[in-house]
Structure 1
Amino acid sequence: MKSNYSAMELDVLKEIINIGGGHAATSLSQLIDKPVHMTVPVIEMMAYEDVYEQIMAEETVIKAIVIKMMGDAEGVFLFTVDQQFSKDLVSMMLPDDTPYSEAMADSALQELVNILVNSFLNAVMKLMDRNLVTSVPLIIEDMFGAIMSSIYIEQNQYDDSIMIIKNEFYYLGDRLESSLYFVPKPGIIEKMLQVLTV
Structure 2
Amino acid sequence: MISMQFAMKVQVTHMEKSINSIQIDALKELINIGGGNAATSISEIIDEPVNMRVPVIDIMDYEELYSTVMAEDKPVYAVMNQVYGDAGGIFLFSLTHEVVKTMTAMMLPKDIEVTSELEQSAIIELENIVVNSFLMALSKEINYNMLSSVPQLTIDMFGSIISSLYMEMGQFDEQLLIIKNEFLYLGDKIDASLYFIPYEGTLEKIFKSMGV
For the aligned pair, the TM-score class normalised by the smaller chain equals: 0.7 to 0.9
Q: CA-atom RMSD, angstroms?
A: 2.2
Verify: 1:162 aligned to 2:171, yes or no: no
Who is 1:132 aligned against? 146
Who is 2:7 aligned against? none
Q: How does 1:79-90 map to 2 (within 5 A)?
A: 79-90=93-104
* Partners of 2:81 and 2:92 within 8 A in 1: yes
Question: What is the letter of the counterpart of residue 184 of structure 2?
Answer: Y
Please give the secondary structure, in 2, of the residue aligned with 1:84. Answer: helix
Verify: 1:152 aligned to 2:150, yes or no: no
Deviation at 1:76, TM superposition (A): 1.2
Give the structure, 1 or 2, with the largest relative contact order (CA under 8 Å, sep 6 or more). Answer: 2
Q: Please, what TM-score do these two structures have when normalized by structure 2? A: 0.81
Deviation at 1:61, TM superposition (A): 1.4
Q: Please, what TM-score do these two structures have when normalized by structure 1? A: 0.86
Percent of matched pairs sharing the same residue: 39
Please give the secondary structure, in 1, of the residue aligned with 2:73. Answer: coil
Question: What is the letter of the counterpart of residue 141 of structure 1?
Answer: I
Q: Structure 1, unaligned stretches of length 5 or more? A: none
How many aligned residue pairs are there?
A: 196
Q: Distance in 2 between matches of 1:38 and 1:61?
A: 28
Deviation at 1:41, TM superposition (A): 4.2
Who is 2:23 aligned against? 9
Q: Distance in 1 between matches of 2:110 and 2:34?
A: 31
Q: Structure 2, unaligned stretches of length 5 or more? A: 1-10
Verify: 1:184 aligned to 2:198, yes or no: yes
Q: How does 1:30-179 map to 2 (within 5 A)?
A: 30-32=44-46, 33-44=48-59, 46-159=60-173, 161-171=174-184, 175-179=189-193
Please give the secondary structure, in 1, of the residue aligned with 2:109. Answer: coil
Alignment deviations for residues 39-62 of structure 1 (CA, whole Å, 9 cap, x no partner):
414352x32221122222111211
Q: Distance in 1 between matches of 2:156 and 2:101?
A: 16
Change in CA separation of 1:43 and 1:187 when aligned onto 2, cut-off 3 Å: farther
Question: What is the letter of the counterpart of residue 189 of structure 1?
Answer: L
